Structure 1
Amino acid sequence: MRSKTIVVALGYAEFSIRFSNAISQYTDVDAILYNDNYQAESADLITKNENVSIHLVSKSRKTELLILVMKLLLSNRYKLVHVEETTSKLVLPIYFMAKLSARLYVRVHDPEPHSGTDERLNPFVRLTMGIGRRLSTHLLANGEYCAAKLRDRYRRDVIATQHGEILIPTNSQLSSPEARTFLFFGRIEKYKGLEVALDAIDILERANIPCRLIVAGRGSELTRLGPRLQTHPFVKLIPGYLSYTELVSLIQKTSCVLMPYLDATQSGVLAAAFAGGRPVIASDVGGISELVRHNENGLLVAPNDAKALAEQMKLFLSSQAISEKLAVGARKAAANELSWKTITAKISRLYL
């Protein structure tokens, strides 16, 4: 008889649907997601596996979520509960309910807070994260760097897999990139290094090396750096939340994605760039170099070094052969390390 798994994902809707589809070859899945996350990330556009049932709940109806989890667990059909760790406090009672009657798996996306606003996490949220990590039967992490951090802190086994492809373009969405165009996108907080990217663009401008940087997303750094973003001749700003289809289209329009992070653990931006066949120029921090292989599928630079970033951007712009080689490498990484088939094969035993 096939096992049955509850996947609780109060964030990361697209990621969680793709993960649920992937593990459904081993287990039947009931995935519980917030309706607004599901709609915002256009998860309805992802083809659902027949072995996956989707339950959408409202953020404003907190008891609805807890009652749903309780009903599923009391049916005695579910022996596995997989929780995608988020900053939601509601996962705390779910951890305890799951632990009473099931094996609890928790995937940790970031083992430690990023610099900037993340460092000011609510103490109760930090406590909730720690309890879930300690109660779990198995901890999962996106990448070996994250896994090592968790092993060191909690002195227990942690299973490492890669992030998995997101924002995957359909054949009809594939297109050739606009020449000499870089993209910086996502959640724009201090640790993402937007100021370093702008300093690098300034260096290229002074050297009369034309290019364009598209900055898309939302976050506190847009307020701080707003004047520079709005007046720079090489920069196009697209502020606010972008839909799934808008992001897929934007990645296709650009030649390369910039990731000049000051610190990092793993990166959904990287997974999306490679899924779209776009190489990256990234800081060699955290677990980034597990996937970004210098001069194969991207270019690596030291963190917080605008001059080094500008040099690698200049190199990328100088040769079509280099940019095409890196793009081929990005597509290969997406098809191999980042493919959901590869990822779930490593953890299939957990869901049998």
Structure 2
Amino acid sequence: MRQAYLYAAGSLFTMMCGMALNVLVGRFLGPDQYGIYALSRTAAQFFLMIAPLGMELGLQRFMSVAVQENRSPAQLLRFARTAAFAVFLVTVLVLLMGGAAALEDAYRAPGLAMALVVTLLSAPFLIDAMLIFSLGRVIGDMRPYMLWILFFQPLLRLALTAAVLVLDGDVQAVLTAAIFAGALTWLGYAMSENRIAGGADTRPPQERRTELRQFFQTSLWLGVSIFFYGLMRSSDTLVLGLFVSVGDVGRYAAMSFVAQTVQSLTLAVSQGLGAKVAAAAAAGDRMGLKDLIDEASLRAIPVSLFLFGGIAVFGQDLHVIFGEGFTVSAVTASSLAFGYLAGGVLGIVGYALSMAHHHKLESALTAAGGGVLLVAVFIGASTGGAEGVAVATCLSLCFVNIIRLVAVRSVHGYWPRAPLYLIGAVPAWLVAAAMRQAALEFDLPPIGAFFLGTIAYSLFMTVILIGGKMIGRRQQGMHRSAAKPARVTILSFHFAEYSARLCLALGDDHPAQMIVDRDKLVREAPSSVVGSVQRLENIVWYERRSTFGKILSAGRILMDIRRFRPDLIVAHETLVPLPALVTFACRLIAPLRLIVHDPDPHAGADASISRLKRSLRWMLRKVATGYVVHGLYCRKALLKSVSPEKPVICINHGTLLEPEKFRSPLPGNILFFGRLEQYKGLPTLYAVADLLAEKLEGFRLTVVGHGSEAAFVRAFAATRSFVAFNEGYASPEDVISAMQDAVVVLLPYDEATQSGVLAAAMANGRPVVTAAVGAIVEVIDGQNGIAVPPADVAAFAGALEKILSDPLEWERLSQGAMRTAGSSMNWKTIGRAIVGPPEVRA
């Protein structure tokens, strides 16, 4: 968090140094020379955005994997730096072979060709620094980048530029100073950022080449979005230069640069927002994601509105800051200021797409926005000059962000509040206009009027903010303090081990109460977990020895929950009448988050449920204030039957049946464990087993479980010596032993939502070969198992044969399974996601 604030401060410092530098260049060189400076810098900035080909983002993704696998990412970084430098060399060669001269003729700007070439000479240093910075992001230490790039470089560049201008330097001298600043900064940063983490990369050359190819392809896709974003940032100045004089370009560019400061606080508050939005999206917390976006917009709007009012009204007095000759119309100033205000405040909404599994949609919107803006500024420049370009830029930015709002509404089901905050632009503009008019009436200088406007606006916003905080405190008084840990009740009539591990994980951070069926806990959970649960302070046992006993136990449970006074109740969906009614009654005590394991019933025996059970399922989903599902597939299925306004938290299934110690598996042994039902793909299991028995010596299949298809499994096992069928109930210790004996766990399901068997396999460090169905494929990533098409016998057999016959492949997948168990399936992580931000107490 401290680094995020420091990064935001560094970004603001860079912007302020940039403002001072541009003012110096404008005052010393005048509009014509500043126009050449602006064209060359705009072209260079566009080049800096596209030259890395998206590799600065691709590196973050691929180097993270390398560091997690304890191997050096040096190969990736070396490839990216080489490729980027090659792009730079090709660009400079094109410019030297006539490209720069052609641009100079097109813009009718003598000296532009040399300025372009000189400007681009600083590009390799800045691009290389961006690529090296990716390593800092991966290892979580951005301090060297912030020190050298965000603080030292802008200050050094400002000092060198001031010195050059005092010595009567021209545009080329100013740009040469930038080269020296970039080179010195890069040298210091590259020497300090020499922390290539991880051990040696011992993978085969073919695997390394495959990784490089995937890295480059992914980076190019990310680079497309960056290209269109850069087009939106630079197209207005570059297009305007084709239609007006270089002096007009200088005046417009100065006004545009000042107007972009409206976005400064927006950029600052959005630092670190992406990671928070991504976490909320991964957890399926839709309302939490909405709150993050709305809060960021609200934090940025007061200062952004103030800057907008001052720039929109006083922008026509630009000559006071930049010097004589820098005059623009009120239309240009107001249009650019509002365009960047809308782009900054509404642009935050883009995080709800780009960081919430909809980055392709965000890329498409950015590409469309770049195209719309390019066409609009061509029309505006040809018909209205600088004013036409300013209006076109404003309308295009507003249009693109309105489409982005519609996309967020379509994807997430809510309207962000950011558009409402833009209404404040009207009073901000009126306050600033009144102050400027007062200055004209009393012969005050524009700067004096601007400071009067600052005071008036500050008083206005102070009243609003104080009033808002008073209302907020009054509302908070109706509820418990948000800083106090939430008290959580876990209601478990089913899935006893799941609930026990969740309760134990929550115990360190939240006061937790657990209601559990004692018999089910003993049958399902290892003895170590049972012992830990029995030592809990707030444990309530559900007794079901007789019908009357069940009713008494249900009443006692409700009274115990009431006495505990929970802030949140977490319960598993149940279709058993009495437990369902108890769960329903819990909603009268506190908000209810319902864990929905199967949004739709499975094929076979599960498919035919009675009308009563359907009614119970509808009732529980209706009264729940939020839902928990295991995977995006389950989330999508659940949203067909529940309100999209309620949060749906998306997590992985937590680990089950964890062993006290690991041991080596029995060679050639695979395991099928679980309920023996129609949807489990048993015909595929039979065919795969027969095929592997013919190919592999010593192959053995162990089947553990019971269900409606048990008779068919029994008949299959009776005629094959390589099959061991342990029918019926198996204790947790027996299942763990079977997992440890297996080389690989087989999941040949025809259809599925999620899988507790998969969670147990990961906990035991056993890779899985699974059908690519349901949310299972969201867990199996090629590092912890292999997913193949359902019912594809040859593909199942091939994957199993590869693991059984290659110890190195098994070791790789086994380590990946344990990493999955320790990360996304970790109960601490799952507990934080399930409890999450509390719903409002009813």
Does the TM-score normalized on the shorter chain lie above 0.5? Answer: yes
In the alignment, the residues of structure 2 paired with residue 12 and residue 206 of structure 1 have an alpha-carbon distance, to the nearest angstrom, of 39
In the alignment, the residues of structure 2 paired with residue 291 and residue 153 of structure 1 have an alpha-carbon distance, to the nearest angstrom, of 25
Aligned match of 1:56: 541
Deviations 1:123-172 (A, max 9, x none): 2122212211111111111122111211233232311111101101113x
Change beyond 3 A, Cα 1:200–1:96: closer
Matched, 1:247 2:722: no
Alignment of 1:135-154 (within 5 A): 135-154=623-642
Change beyond 3 A, Cα 1:192–1:109: same
**Amino acid in structure 2 at the alignment position of 1:9:** S
Aligned match of 1:317: 804
Number of equivalenced pairs: 349
Q: Secondary structure at the match of 2:749?
A: coil
Change beyond 3 A, Cα 1:144–1:259: same
8 Å contact kept, 2:488–2:566: yes
Alignment of 1:113-132 (within 5 A): 113-132=601-620
Change beyond 3 A, Cα 1:254–1:51: same
8 Å contact kept, 2:513–2:564: no
CA positional deviation for 1:109: 0.8
TM-score by length of 2: 0.40
Aligned match of 1:40: 523
Aligned match of 1:225: 713
CA positional deviation for 1:184: 0.2
Alignment of 1:25-174 (within 5 A): 25-42=508-525, 44-46=527-529, 47-48=532-533, 53-59=538-544, 60=546, 61-75=549-563, 77-156=565-644, 157-171=647-661, 174=662
Q: Structure 1: where are the runs of 5+ without partners?
A: none
CA positional deviation for 1:85: 1.4
Aligned match of 2:819: 332
In the alignment, the residues of structure 1 paired with residue 648 and residue 621 of structure 2 have an alpha-carbon distance, to the nearest angstrom, of 10
Aligned match of 1:10: 493
Change beyond 3 A, Cα 1:52–1:212: farther
Q: Secondary structure at the match of 2:640?
A: helix
Deviations 1:36-57 (A, max 9, x none): 1012124552124976522222
Mean CA deviation greater in 264-273 or 156-165: 156-165
8 Å contact kept, 2:592–2:624: yes
CA positional deviation for 1:209: 4.7
Aligned match for 1:24, one of 504, 507, 525: 507
CA positional deviation for 1:8: 1.2
Q: Secondary structure at the match of 2:577?
A: coil
In the alignment, the residues of structure 1 paired with residue 500 and residue 588 of structure 2 have an alpha-carbon distance, to the nearest angstrom, of 26
8 Å contact kept, 2:701–2:724: yes
Change beyond 3 A, Cα 1:219–1:77: same
8 Å contact kept, 2:743–2:804: no
In the alignment, the residues of structure 2 paired with residue 33 and residue 347 of structure 1 have an alpha-carbon distance, to the nearest angstrom, of 18
In the alignment, the residues of structure 1 paired with residue 564 and residue 703 of structure 2 have an alpha-carbon distance, to the nearest angstrom, of 49
8 Å contact kept, 2:542–2:557: no
Matched, 1:183 2:691: no
Q: Secondary structure at the match of 1:78?
A: coil
Q: Percent identity?
A: 32
Q: Secondary structure at the match of 1:179?
A: coil
**Amino acid in structure 2 at the alignment position of 1:26:** D
**Amino acid in structure 1 at the alignment position of 2:791:** N
Q: Which has the higher strand share?
A: 1
Aligned match of 1:307: 794
Aligned match of 1:343: 830
**Amino acid in structure 2 at the alignment position of 1:327:** S
CA positional deviation for 1:99: 2.0
Aligned match of 1:298: 785
8 Å contact kept, 1:203–1:310: yes
Change beyond 3 A, Cα 1:215–1:93: same
CA positional deviation for 1:28: 1.8
Q: Which has the higher helix share?
A: 2
CA positional deviation for 1:307: 2.1
CA positional deviation for 1:351: 5.9
After TM superposition, where is structure 1 displaced by more than 6 Å over at least 4 residues in a row? Answer: none
Q: Secondary structure at the match of 2:774?
A: coil
Change beyond 3 A, Cα 1:208–1:335: closer
In the alignment, the residues of structure 2 paired with residue 347 and residue 42 of structure 1 have an alpha-carbon distance, to the nearest angstrom, of 21
8 Å contact kept, 2:571–2:594: yes
Alignment of 1:249-268 (within 5 A): 249-268=737-756
**Amino acid in structure 1 at the alignment position of 2:518:** N
CA positional deviation for 1:245: 0.9
8 Å contact kept, 2:767–2:814: yes
8 Å contact kept, 1:6–1:29: yes
Q: Secondary structure at the match of 1:27?
A: coil
Q: Structure 2: where are the runs of 5+ without partners?
A: 1-483
Deviations 1:97-139 (A, max 9, x none): 2222311111001111111111022321222122111111111
Change beyond 3 A, Cα 1:155–1:127: same
8 Å contact kept, 2:542–2:554: no
Change beyond 3 A, Cα 1:335–1:220: same
Deviations 1:241-282 (A, max 9, x none): 111111111101111000000000000000000000000000
CA positional deviation for 1:24: 2.4
In the alignment, the residues of structure 1 paired with residue 649 and residue 780 of structure 2 have an alpha-carbon distance, to the nearest angstrom, of 21
In the alignment, the residues of structure 2 paired with residue 321 and residue 83 of structure 1 have an alpha-carbon distance, to the nearest angstrom, of 42
Aligned match of 1:277: 765
Q: Secondary structure at the match of 2:667?
A: coil
Q: Secondary structure at the match of 1:153?
A: coil
TM-score by length of 1: 0.93
CA positional deviation for 1:11: 1.2
Q: Secondary structure at the match of 2:641?
A: helix
**Amino acid in structure 2 at the alignment position of 1:297:** N
Deviations 1:181-240 (A, max 9, x none): 000001111111122111111112333554100001111111123211222122111111
8 Å contact kept, 1:21–1:52: no
In the alignment, the residues of structure 1 paired with residue 610 and residue 537 of structure 2 have an alpha-carbon distance, to the nearest angstrom, of 33
In the alignment, the residues of structure 2 paired with residue 276 and residue 266 of structure 1 have an alpha-carbon distance, to the nearest angstrom, of 18
Q: Secondary structure at the match of 1:146?
A: helix
8 Å contact kept, 1:29–1:51: no
